[in-house]
Amino acid sequence: MRYALFGDIHGNLEALQAVVDDFLHKGVDEVICLGDIVGYGANPEECVQIVRKLGCLTVVGNHDHAAIGHLDVSCFNPYARTAAFWTGKHLSHESKEWLCSLSFIEYCDAFTLVHGSLPSPELFNYIQTIRHAEFTFRLMDKHLCFCGHSHVPLAFFNTDPIYYTIDEIIDIDPAVKTIVNIGSVGQPRDERPQAAYAIYDTTKAEVRICRVDYDIAAAAKKITEAGLPQPLASRLWLGK
């Protein structure tokens, strides 16, 4: 079984189209979205429509909730807050209803899905340190959990001691609880500007982080022309 897992699209249509083309070309059996379809980028409605058309299992992200008024954005930085209000005005009623229907956590047969972390998923906490990972390991009833949110692909392993890797190929051992962050399609923050997503191959027992080039210039230009904050466009070139 081969799963394509992607998320943190953030309204970046060019990146999303490149990622979808890539995993369809490589061939996968199922597609999964880990949330934050909207926010920051200039094509929120189009991105929601693509994800819906894929018919994939999807969990909700904090920017998805912010855009539909279900999250207090006072904790957002000014650029993110501006983008959240703008995004809310550029989503159809149908898309808002669909985003509203998404769950915080999805429990699949072989793994668990969450945008942020398993403890209090509605708070959208990050898993960025070993201590953060420990809290989620305690709640895992499967050996594998996929997440996003930080925009940085990496994996944590519940060994003694807990350790992590930023390797692009992650071996999955059913005897070891593992958390995999699949990175970001539309706004990578690991200083690599290419769109990121993951393919989980159950036969090979591995997760591969895939990187895809896309038309950054077009995505950045749309952000600027939409009147969104300029740094949201500039950071696409930097992968930050």
Upper half-sphere CA count for residue 14 (Cβ side, 13 Å): 18
Residue position matching structure tokens 């959990």: 145
**What tokens were used for 60?**
């909700």
Q: Quick: pLDDT tens for 19-58.
A: 999 999 999 999 999 999 999 999 999 999 999 999 999 9
The pLDDT value recorded for residue 148 is 98
pLDDT of residue 137: 98
Instruction: Classify the phi-psi angles of 188: left when phi > 0, otherwise alpha if psi is within -120 to 50, otherwise beta.
Output: beta
Residue segments in the chain with a per-residue pLDDT below the cut of 70: none
Q: Is 186 helix (H, G, I), strand (E, B) or coil?
A: coil
Distance separating alpha carbons of residues 207 and 190, to the nearest angstrom? 18
pLDDT the model gives residue 126? 97
Q: What is the pLDDT of residue 27?
A: 96
Convert 19-84 into a string of H (helix), E (strand) and C (coil): HHHHHHHHCCCEEEECCCCCCCCCCHHHHHHHHHHHCCEEECCHHHHHHCCCCCHHHCCHHHHHHH
14-44 b/e (C-beta count within 10 Å ≥ 16 → b): bbbbbbbebbeeeebeebbbbbbbbbbbbbb
Interaxial angle between packed helices 216-225 and 13-26, expressed in degrees from 0 to 180 and rounded to the nearest 10: 150
* C-alpha distances out from residue 227 to 56, 138, 179, 236, Å: 31, 44, 37, 16
d(CA 167, CA 209): 8
pLDDT given for residue 103 in this prediction: 98
What pLDDT shows up at residue 159? 96
Query: Rounded to whole angstroms, what are the CA distances from 226 to 51, 77, 176, 195, 223?
Result: 22, 19, 46, 22, 5
Q: How far apart are CA 13 and CA 208, in angstroms?
A: 23
**pTM for the full predicted model:** 0.96
Asked if the 2-238 domain carries CATH number 3.60.21.10, the reply is yes
